[in-house]
Structure 1
């Protein structure tokens, strides 16, 4: 190809922008893991400045001209990957040009400020302290949504959702969630009755040394395939995965009285990291080489955590490892650990929820953020609306805001429209895991031996290596033979919990 062609020039420009994004990911990681509290103000300014530079590059008028020129000759000049890259470039350009630099800077600073206030206010369950900062983030997020909605020809909410789930639409998600909201009230009591017939939750007795937990989580991460020569495992208030080429970073939060949440969090984040690691190297720093939306991303973490590592097969391997590490066998039998891993019980915290009740947490957030963004509800009413929603969906009421509307970082950090991708990811994971096992029946047997290679190779071939060449729905069709079908998720739950 002509190295000075419009398309090649675009590749060079998008590469520069992607490099800035990689630098920001490290600064965000440092802010959550290493940075002292006194650094929040300066870090907010640093990130805002880089965001403005990134945005100025992304909206350079010559990109629009180059896109027009490249699209005119795409059919004759470009291969299929390049055509897909051009499509993703156009998508990114439309999103970027919808916003002016002042709004980008204001939104970035407001999010950094609100996040820092939230971290302290959450400790005291003090919603009123963070309310003004959250109101500013909400107001600016609405401005971002309105600007993008006009440019994309979408509703405000769909414009924000499109940032995280390309082509995702609330009107298509709502029926899926409504169907589950109808399914859950009848299914949940059956599950709780069935599990009561097999004894109570075991919960091996702690306390559990944090140092030993660190050793165990490292071993489990390596077992899944996490490469510590090209990654790190650290600690943060909220587990997450980030990083870039050759530098994947995951975090965990340990608790002395229980090891399960920390262990599962690491396995979950490994799923994210393995996806990023598996993206095609030849397309790194290009839009087509990025992960395909957050629903697919979440499916990759949940295939590892929920589908594979909460299976009985997994504990055939894990039980002896845990027994040896903690030096005890009581509560560490295969059946006991498996029972604990799939124990179903309505709770207040989304990240600790079982896979049966988890969608209810997402459905609540999906409903509330639409109401807030559309002006149907005031932010001051969020705590009471949250509590009412939890009571309606799960029959429980949070005793304080830290266990209620303040528990997640997402809204306080400006990620409005993100939450639906979690449950879409869970449903995708069930469908993908079923297809993987149909094609490779040895997957579960190998997991019982601590060998994740068959599963990860299938995911690599069917999801990771395809990056953003196809839409989420097309990826699902190619991998499973059909678009996302929530029936697979309900069948999985019925088999695991009532079978």
Structure 2
């Protein structure tokens, strides 16, 4: 390691230590901290965030990047990722960042009540400035991009789905938008023949917690390197050796927690599987959210909801929740994969969820590129929901265009990662099934070690050393392809092959 590169490594290690402190302050803020601690904690987080930004965008960091030379291909890629992180932070004027923080905070705060009151005019008043500032951010990022981008929206998309352009995603989504509505009707007709609802019952929360810990163990989670807690919204965070998972529990629905826990275990497994030799460096980060979501959805949809794994895990469900003894593993699984169009994205099933995402992608792309205005959204939302899911949201803003909080703080470009992740997860599992002919037998025995080895070798160990689509090509032989996801849905919901 030459001296100029070593100085950069030291600088980014310092930044990583600040990120570490922020991560666990924020985790505690959301999980453990008493309400009275909000003011000093918020001040501490703001101070550390400011210090991190100042250090990252300092003249020292810029000078080190200007002076550095690479001696190996790995160092060259590492420096590229450092420049990318630096450029994404330094390209925005400080006054724009401050204005966005203020506008986003007000919009998100007021949205909490405005949504409940179905108050679109009130929300629009706060949302217009958020959109205007997001367009300024998109243009600034577009102008400063190291590699040419097709549109300002692509610059926002690059924050979350790096390497997956709007054009590439649009082509994939067009295929899904064409085929999913008909597939949905076929699935619903088939499920009418065998209703899959579970009877109303009460499942003790403490028993559910033990059951979810067992699921994490079965999925390979190491409790010496992490823990599970409770929060209003499930999430995963942490670092190597200290992965924090949260889930939520409802007395009347034990499946909801299990699905969330499996999902977050996938996120945590990816983070814990990143290469140790690149700790603290941008090259060692997860590549993008299209891959991160693929890992969470892989553990939730491909492993946990597979028939052989549910067959294995049913005995644990019966043991921890004796109320479920009247249900077979197949009945439990059928209830978990029930399909029904609904207004709310976060409650959507595996078949309809992509249609919710496509709607948001199409609207936000045109919004950021200046092709539509904020006041056009309700009518577009209603049209697209009616077209794809047969549900009108006319005058129903609460369950329509005001249901998500992503846009309230200007997080445009995030939504596509959810469905790109679903497609990637199906593509990975198709490859794994070809590679391991005994996959079904292994899952029926509760053995997922072969899957974790494959993921570590082909996805986790790559971190950000390659472009996202290059990682997928290396693992599966081709770029993200909707065929695998559509085949997965037909097999699961129409042919009942697994």
Verify same fold: TM over 0.5: yes
The answer on whether the counterparts of 1:319 and 1:332 sit within 8 Å (CA) in structure 2 is no
**Alignment-derived partner of residue 160 in structure 1:** 156
**Alignment-derived partner of residue 51 in structure 1:** 49
Mapped to 2, the partners of 1:113 and 1:8 lie a distance apart of: 42
Mapped to 1, the partners of 2:229 and 2:116 lie a distance apart of: 21
**Alignment-derived partner of residue 457 in structure 2:** 461
**The one of 9, 20, 25 aligned to 2:18:** 20
How far does residue 9 in structure 1 lie from its aligned partner after superposition? 0.8
The answer on whether the counterparts of 2:201 and 2:323 sit within 8 Å (CA) in structure 1 is no
Q: Please give the per-residue CA displacement for 1:278-309, whole angstroms capped at 9, x wherever unaligned.
A: 11111111001000100010110111111111
Distance 1:101 1:32, change over 3 A: same
How far does residue 116 in structure 1 lie from its aligned partner after superposition? 4.0
The answer on whether the counterparts of 1:205 and 1:331 sit within 8 Å (CA) in structure 2 is no
Q: SS of the residue aligned with 1:332? A: coil
How far does residue 365 in structure 1 lie from its aligned partner after superposition? 0.9
TM, length-normalised to structure 1: 0.91
- Structure 1 position 451 matched with structure 2 position 447: yes
Mapped to 2, the partners of 1:275 and 1:457 lie a distance apart of: 12
**Alignment-derived partner of residue 428 in structure 2:** 432
The answer on whether the counterparts of 1:41 and 1:113 sit within 8 Å (CA) in structure 2 is no
The answer on whether the counterparts of 2:31 and 2:231 sit within 8 Å (CA) in structure 1 is yes
**Alignment-derived partner of residue 292 in structure 2:** 297
Mapped to 2, the partners of 1:118 and 1:337 lie a distance apart of: 37
Distance 1:303 1:117, change over 3 A: same
Q: Please give the per-residue CA displacement for 1:123-148, whole angstroms capped at 9, x wherever unaligned.
A: 55555555544444333322221211
Q: Please give the per-residue CA displacement for 1:30-63, whole angstroms capped at 9, x wherever unaligned.
A: 3433445666666555444333322222222333
Q: Identify which range, 322-331 or 338-347, moves more after superposition.
A: 322-331
Q: Identify which range, 117-126 or 436-445, moves more after superposition.
A: 117-126
**Alignment-derived partner of residue 271 in structure 1:** 266
Which runs of 5 or more residues in structure 2 are unaligned?
none
**Alignment-derived partner of residue 361 in structure 2:** 366
| Aligned-residue RMSD, C-alpha | 2.3
How far does residue 122 in structure 1 lie from its aligned partner after superposition? 4.5
Mapped to 2, the partners of 1:254 and 1:145 lie a distance apart of: 38
Mapped to 1, the partners of 2:25 and 2:368 lie a distance apart of: 29
Distance 1:138 1:28, change over 3 A: farther
Pairing 1:126-165 to 2, within 5 Å after superposition = 126-127=119-120, 130-152=123-145, 153-154=148-149, 155-165=151-161
Q: Identify which range, 464-473 or 199-208, moves more after superposition.
A: 199-208
TM, length-normalised to structure 2: 0.92
Distance 1:460 1:223, change over 3 A: same
How far does residue 69 in structure 1 lie from its aligned partner after superposition? 3.0
How many aligned positions are there?
Answer: 491
- Structure 1 position 64 matched with structure 2 position 62: yes
Q: Please give the per-residue CA displacement for 1:88-135, whole angstroms capped at 9, x wherever unaligned.
A: 112112212211333334434544454444445555555555554444
How far does residue 373 in structure 1 lie from its aligned partner after superposition? 2.0
Q: Please give the per-residue CA displacement for 1:216-242, whole angstroms capped at 9, x wherever unaligned.
A: 111111211222232232222322211
Q: Identify which range, 353-362 or 136-145, moves more after superposition.
A: 136-145
Distance 1:235 1:386, change over 3 A: farther
- Structure 1 position 170 matched with structure 2 position 163: no
Distance 1:110 1:211, change over 3 A: farther
Q: Identify which range, 376-385 or 459-468, moves more after superposition.
A: 376-385
Q: SS of the residue aligned with 1:243? A: strand
The answer on whether the counterparts of 1:52 and 1:105 sit within 8 Å (CA) in structure 2 is no
**Alignment-derived partner of residue 235 in structure 1:** 230
